[in-house]
Amino acid sequence: MELTVNVFTTLDGVMQAPGAPEEDTAGGFRHGGWLGPYADQGMGEIVERWFADADAVLLGRRTYQAMAGYWPRVDDDGSTTWRVLNTGPKYVVSTTLAAAAADWANSTVIGTDILARVSELKRASGRELQVHGSWRLIQTLHEAGLVDAYRLLVFPTSVGGLGKRVFADGSTPTGFTVSEVQVTESGIVAMTLRPEEFRQAGVAVVDGKDSVVELAQPV
């Protein structure tokens, strides 16, 4: 399976508390609830397409507990999102959550050898192992080079750069190939990014012409 990271983010890269002001106030964050004003039909259709490709979901503990407290209370509306989340296999990465506490249907706790276990899941047949939310887990997977694609829904709002960002300070520099872009009616930009080698270039005069010269990367 491919491992994909699927997140909502602001223009300044913050993915914290999209759904409500009190969703995640860690670090004193008080600008949550930035998703709702821009939610539209196009956004819903994009998220449905995300989940249509999911054979399993991989979550961090906080995201798992938040979703487990919400989605089982939602009536079955026939959506792929509901089916995948409430009936599909879910893996929660946590060193503190007991297996008995992961009682959302079809849940498994990964508490040790996390990167090895995730790599093992990736080797299984299927389409996608999807990460949703799970900020800390995303950082770990990014640094380990285990992410095959990032799907971002970028909302036309900023929160001052404070909060949990998709790519945290100090994360490994990475280039990306953009394989898909869509803009919804309210201005949400959906993009699919595939990691590639980070590159640098400089501006120089070459043979009398203003040119861009790619720089060799340090070994």
pLDDT of res. 218: 66
User: Given the structure tokens 């990460």, which residue do they identify?
Assistant: 131
pLDDT of res. 219: 58
Mean pLDDT value across residues 8-27 = 96
Domain 2-214, CATH: 3.40.430.10
DSSP string, 115-183: HHHHHHHHHSSSSEEEEES-HHHHHHHHHTT---EEEEEEES---TT-S-BSS-TTPPP-EEEEEEEEE
Mean pLDDT value across residues 154-175 = 95
- Please say if the pLDDT value at position 155 is more than 80: yes
Residue 29: half-sphere exposure toward Cβ, Cα within 13 Å: 24
User: Could you tell me the residue ranges of all domains in the chain?
Assistant: 2-214
Mean pLDDT value across residues 137-144 = 98
Are 139 and 168 within 8 A, CB to CB?
yes
Banded pLDDT at 215 (limits 50, 70, 90): confident
- Please say if the pLDDT value at position 103 is more than 90: yes
Q: To the nearest whole percent, how much of the chain has pLDDT over 70?
A: 99
Average pLDDT of the chain to the nearest whole number: 96
Residues 84, 90: Cα–Cα separation, whole Å: 9
pLDDT of res. 60: 97
pLDDT of 48-81, one tens digit each? 999 999 999 999 999 999 999 999 999 999 999 9
Mean pLDDT value across residues 36-41 = 98
User: Given the structure tokens 């879910």, which residue do they identify?
Assistant: 90
